[in-house]
Amino acid sequence: MSIIARFSLPADEFPLGSLLEVRRGIRVRLESVIPTGDATIPYFWVPTADADAVEAALVDSPLIVDVRSIDHTEAETLFRVEWAADVNGLVSLVEDSDGVLLEAEGLGDDWSFRMRFPRRENLSAFYRACVDRGLSIDLEEVNDPLGSTDGTGTGLTDAQREALSAALESGYFAVPREVTLVDLAGRLGISDTALSQRLRRGLTTLLSAALADGPNAD
């Protein structure tokens, strides 16, 4: 049975992410990744206010063969990019593992990806390949219809459990807070953006499991 996984990666380890850091905190949405022979062409949305700067950065890059704006709204502009043939990285690992990229979003220093794999073995192979390639991949969530991800019935990943436990023990949820998000992220060795997303998804998972039990749940 297929499974869906969400993971994050530093922007500087994802070619498109490193190229698009034209403004601090720019938000990028990757619409699809379509293999076409030996080339992979990503379609992605950026804020229209940043579209000219993004296009200039891509045109100047030796990693890009062609870039063009193909659609736009007042809020966002859609770009189509063709990579140089020698670009190799995350996208090729996705293809090799038979994964399908469902969505991806970049914000600041981190990118978040949501992918579907035909089997858990494919996800494991993808994760090992990323580690072997030296990518700092952080697996944040696994949606497995056959059971929970951590064996406890909560559905939390190990990373989410660690983040929530550290936040609770450090007084992050206290009123007033006893530790800032930045300080807590530093203790865990991750960015504050990654920690914020991990806490949010972990809490969503816990609340969803609790509320699904109904009003009489303990």
Give the Cα separation of 208 and 187 in Å (integer).
28
28 lies in some domain: yes
Conformational region of residue 171, where left means phi above 0, alpha means psi within -120 to 50, and beta covers everything else: left
Inter-residue contact 136 to 10 (CB < 8 Å): yes
Last residue of a domain, one of 82, 116, 143: 143
The pLDDT mean for the chain works out to: 79
Quick one: 48 and 111 in the same domain? Answer: yes
Print the domain residue range for 118.
3-143
Quick one: 112 and 12 in the same domain? Answer: yes
Quick one: 138 and 177 in the same domain? Answer: no
Give the Cα separation of 179 and 169 in Å (integer).
10
Quick one: 86 and 175 in the same domain? Answer: no
Our count of domains for the chain comes to 2
Q: The whole model's pTM is what? A: 0.60
Quick one: 106 and 207 in the same domain? Answer: no
> Can the peptide bond before residue 10 be classed as cis, meaning omega within 30 degrees of 0?
no
Query: Where in the chain does DSSP place strands (E)?
Result: 3-10, 27-36, 39-47, 64-72, 76-83, 100-107, 110-117, 138-143
Reported as a single tens digit per residue, the pLDDT across 43-102 is 889 899 989 988 988 888 888 888 999 999 999 999 998 877 655 567 778 778 888 878
Structure tokens at 138: 């952080």
Quick one: 199 and 133 in the same domain? Answer: no
206 lies in some domain: yes
